[in-house]
Amino acid sequence: MPEPMSQADLASGIVIASAVYVVLLLIIGALARKARRAETLADHFLAGRTLGFVVLLFTLFATQYSGNSLSAFPGKTYRGGLAYFMTVPFMVGIVTGYLLFAPRLVALAREHSFLTPTDFLRHRFASPTLTRLATLIFALVLCNFLLAQLMALGHAVSGLTENRIPYGLGVAVGGAVILAYEVMGGMRAVAWTDALQGAILALGLLVIVVLLVDVIGGPGEVIDRIEKTAPAKAANPDWRTCLTWLSTFVLLGLGGPLYPQAIQRLYAARRLVELKRALAVMAFLPLIAVTTVVFIGAVGIVLFPGLEPVESDKITFKVLAYLVEAEPMAFLPALVVMMAVVAAIMSTADSCLLSLASVLTHDVRRQSDGEPPLRRALLISIGIMAVLVGLALLEGITLWGLLELKFEVLIQLSPAFVLGTLHSRDDPTGYRGRDMLWGIGLGLLTALGLRIAGFDQVVGIHAGVIGVALNYLVSVLIRRRRLAPRP
C-alpha cells in the first residue's frame, strides 16, 4: 500500500505543477502568435472569427465558471444545506439567457463585422448617449472583475502552497504570465488556454467524485448522515428562499450572457451552427460540473461540522486534503483539481483583460478616420495590467462587496440586447434608443437606490431584478405609446 500523503506534500506538488502550467501557457501563447492571420483588431480580439465547436465550447465553459465557482458553490452548500443544489438550474439559466438574443446577434455581428458589444448598440440604435452609457458600464464591470480575479489568484496560490508562493508574488507573476500569452496570441491564446483549463477541471472533478464515493459513500449515504448530524441542512426551504432562487435564476440568466467577454466569444464563432451546438452542450454541463462541486460541499457537512462562515469557503480544499490523507491514490486528482482552481481564475482574468482592452481601444478611443492600430491595443493591455496589479498589491483594498453589484448593474443592459435584436434597424415599429435609455436609466436608479437604502433584496427578490423588471416595462410602454395611433 502506498504511504498516505500529507497536506504539505500537496502544497509542494502545487508549486511544481504551477511552474509546469506557466510554461504550458507561454507555449500556447507562442503557438497562437504563429497562428495569427493578420495584424488587425478583429484577428487579435476575435481570433479572426475562426473558433470551432470544441474550442468554443470550452472557452464558453471557462467564461461561465471562474475559480470562485469551485470554492463558493461548495461553501454555500455547506452553509445552506442540500437545498443549494438549486445552483444547477442557476447555471443552466445562463445558457437560456444566451438563447434569448445570441443567434440573432451573431448573424448581425458577422454581417456588420462587430468587434465589441457596443458595436451592436451603435449600429442598432444610433444613439451616442446609449453607446457611451453601455461602454461605461462594460468598462467598470470588467475593471472590477479583473481586479477581483487578480486578488483571488494571489490568495489562491498563497493558500494552496501554504505561503510557499506569497500573495504578492502570485499576483505579480500571474498577471505577467496572463499579459504575456495574451499579448502574443490574443483571443486564440485565451481560448486555447481555456480549453486546457476546462479539460483539466473536468478530468480532476470526475476522478475526485469517484474517490469520494469510495471513501465516504454515495449521495444517498451522505444525505442520510447529514440528516442525522445536521438535520437543518437537509430540510426543505421556506417560500422566501424559493423566491430568492427564482430571483437569482433571473439575475444570472439575464446578466451572465451580457459579460463583454462572453459576447465576444459569440462573435468569434466560425459558423452559427457550431455556436448553437456549443450552447446545446453547455446546457448539460452544469449537471456534471455544478453537481460535482455541490456534492463536495455536502461531503464537507459530514466531515467538518461546525465551521465558521469564513472557513466554510475553504471546504473544497479541506475535503481534498482529507481525501489525500485517507486515500493515497487521490493525490494526483486532488493536485489536478487544485491546479484547476488557479487555472480557472486565470482564464477568467485573461478574458476580462482582453475584453477591457478591446472596449478601451475600439470604443473609448474610437476614431472616425479608421480602425485604431493593434499596437495601441497591446499598449493599453500592458497599462491595464500594470495598474490593476499595483492596486491588487495594496494592503487593505477589497472589492468583494462591489462584486455583488456587477450583475445588478450589467443586467440593466439586457433589454437593449433582447428587445433590440427583435427588429431590424430600419423597422419603424422597432425599439428606439430613447426607449432603451429611459428603461436603463430608471432600472439603474431603482437597483442602485434600493441597495444604497439598504434593501439588497425586497421580499427575497434582488434589487437588480426589480430594476430590470421596471426597465423592460418602461421600454415596452414607451414604445407602445410612440406607436399608438393618434386621433
- Summarised one tens digit per residue, pLDDT across range 223-271 is 888 888 888 888 877 788 888 888 888 888 888 889 888 899 889 888 8
Task: Write 228-235 long-range contacts (CB < 8 A, 24+).
Answer: 229/301, 229/302, 229/305, 230/81, 230/301, 230/305, 232/81, 233/80, 233/81, 233/82, 233/301, 234/81, 234/82, 235/81, 235/83
- List the domain boundaries for the chain: 7-404
Ranges under pLDDT 70 in the chain: 1-10, 65-71, 310, 365-372, 395-405, 487
CA 330 to centroid of chain Cα atoms: 28
Burial class (CB in 10 A: 0-12, 13-18, 19+), 226: buried
pLDDT, tens digit (0-9, with 9 covering 90-100), for 380-406: 888 888 888 887 777 554 444 445 567
Distance, in Å, from the CA atom of 38 to the CA atom of 137, rounded to the nearest integer, reads: 30
Q: Give me the phi and psi of 314, to 5 degrees please.
A: -100, 15
Query: Residue 372: its pLDDT value, please?
Result: 58
Query: Residue 449: its pLDDT value, please?
Result: 92
Terminal Cα-to-Cα distance of the chain (whole angstroms): 90
Query: Residue 396: its pLDDT value, please?
Result: 53
Fold classification of 7-404 (topology level): Sodium/glucose cotransporter (1.20.1730)
Query: Residue 459: its pLDDT value, please?
Result: 87
Smallest CA-to-CA distance from 442 within 479, 475, 416, 485 is with 475
- Which residue, chain included where needed, has cell 483539481? 337
Helix and strand numbers (H, E) in the chain are 22, 2
Query: Residue 123: its pLDDT value, please?
Result: 93
Q: pTM for this structure?
A: 0.84
Query: Residue 367: its pLDDT value, please?
Result: 45
